[in-house]
Amino acid sequence: MTRRGLFLFVLLSLLWGIPYLLIKLAVAEVSVPFLVFARTAVGALALLPFVLVQRSFGWLKTHWRAVAAFCLVEMILPWGLITHGEVSIDSSTAGLLIAMTPAVTVALSKLMGSDERLGIRRWTGLFLGFAGVFVLALPTLGGGFLAVVEILMAAACYASGSIIASRWLNDVPATSLTAVCLAGAALIYAVPAALAWPAAVPSTTVVGAILGLGVFCTAIAFATYFLLVREIGPERAVVITYVAPAVSVAAGVLVLSEPLDIGIVAAFALILCGSYLGTWRAPPEPSVSATSASWPAAASRRQK
């Protein structure tokens, strides 16, 4: 990997590993609808200059159904579920549960009739991943179990979004798609956010967390991913899926003093190993198209 590729990889690991920490900080003072609205609105505004330069929206007329479905399952539903879930559970737990997204994507594809043969290695990976979820969720049975279910539902939403993107949005400009979906999500959450508007101006910490979510963990993170895919290819870039959860756990432990016990460590190992084995496939032959893939296709096994 080149120095540029390594820099982008490390940067994206941080950008997709810290959202759970920032969400946990923000939900202490603001409502779930307000936080999701603010994140999506800030992200859309941050990408607006790049969209205006491209001036390409012809794709929206022919792909609007897929775009609407993608927006629903990639942003509107999961960001609400994750944010509400983090009211009750630790940010590190949320980050680990979202790490199941690659394995859930494989499982959903199989349920939807995919004829791809999984094999013993990938079936073992799926089993290990869901065993890790069980280990992680077991302590919450006395309280917080609903939050765990919400985060897993968000992972399923991400998985559905990946399938939609890879099947129907391959030829859509990545930046424009992201901006349109962020703007759409902001519009959906505008009324609920207005009804749950903060009674007082949030603290500097919360304002910083919201800006960080919108600008860095959304707009800049997507732009960084585009560059990373071009630099090292989508198959190598997907390794980010297995690094970002470690960042989310470290951030929760170091900043919020969240617990790091044997259960967390065991769940981390099971989920990450399970996701790796469950999505394993023989390396493809290098090609020009693979290194210039658009975000929707290349991101089919990522998380955020």
Which pLDDT tens digit goes with each residue over 175-233? 888 999 999 999 999 999 999 999 999 999 999 999 999 999 998 987 887 778 777 76
The per-residue pLDDT for 265 is: 86
Q: Indicate whether 303 belongs to any domain.
A: no
Q: Indicate whether 146 belongs to any domain.
A: yes
DSSP 211-238: HIIIIIIIIIHHHHHHHHHHHH-HHHHT
DSSP H stretches of helix in the chain: 3-15, 19-26, 32-54, 58-71, 77-85, 91-98, 101-111, 119-137, 145-168, 174-195, 204-211, 221-232, 234-237, 240-256, 262-278, 288-291, 295-298
Q: Indicate whether 119 belongs to any domain.
A: yes
Q: Indicate whether 223 belongs to any domain.
A: yes
Number of domains in the chain: 1
Q: Indicate whether 172 belongs to any domain.
A: yes
Q: Report the Cα–Cα distance between both ends of the chain, in Å, rounded.
A: 23
Q: Indicate whether 302 belongs to any domain.
A: no
Which pLDDT tens digit goes with each residue over 250-302? 899 999 999 888 888 888 888 778 767 766 665 555 544 444 444 454 444 45
Q: Indicate whether 38 belongs to any domain.
A: yes
Q: Indicate whether 68 belongs to any domain.
A: yes
Q: How far apart are CA 270 and CA 297, in angstroms?
A: 27
Give the domain extent around 44.
3-296
pTM over 0.85? The answer is no
